[in-house]
Amino acid sequence: MTAETDTRLLYMANQIARNFEALGHDNAVAATADHMLAFWDPRMKARIAVLATEQAGALTPIGAAAVDRLLSGAEPAPQTRATRFAAVDEPGGSDAG
């Protein structure tokens, strides 16, 4: 990966961590790890693990703890499932009408 890609990946991890920061440290770590587990490509997760080691201090404390949690193999309970989408034939559940 390029240096630009690495910088962007660190930025994204920290942005997610900052978004959940108001939940308190432990809940924010769980929510950040859950988000990465659910939405990040396996290559992104592998690379952030390398970057967390190579660039100590580049991640916020919440971001670093979330990566550590993922590396330990722990799967956090779902934290951020705020929306349940309607099934194809189910009415409602959309802002589109």
Q: Based on the structure, what is the number of domains in the chain? A: 1
90 domain-assigned? no
Q: Is residue 28 part of a domain?
A: yes
CA distances (Å), 2 to each of 5, 7, 30, in order? 5, 9, 29
Residue 47 domain boundaries:
3-71
**Which pLDDT tens digit goes with each residue over 48-92?**
999 999 998 999 999 999 999 999 987 766 654 544 555 666 555
pLDDT of amino acid 82: 47
SS3 89: coil
Q: What is the pLDDT of residues 26-41, one digit of tens each?
A: 999 999 999 999 899 9
CA torsion 53-38-78-9 (nearest 10°) is 40
> What pLDDT was estimated at residue 77?
67
Calpha distance 10→18 (Å, rounded): 12
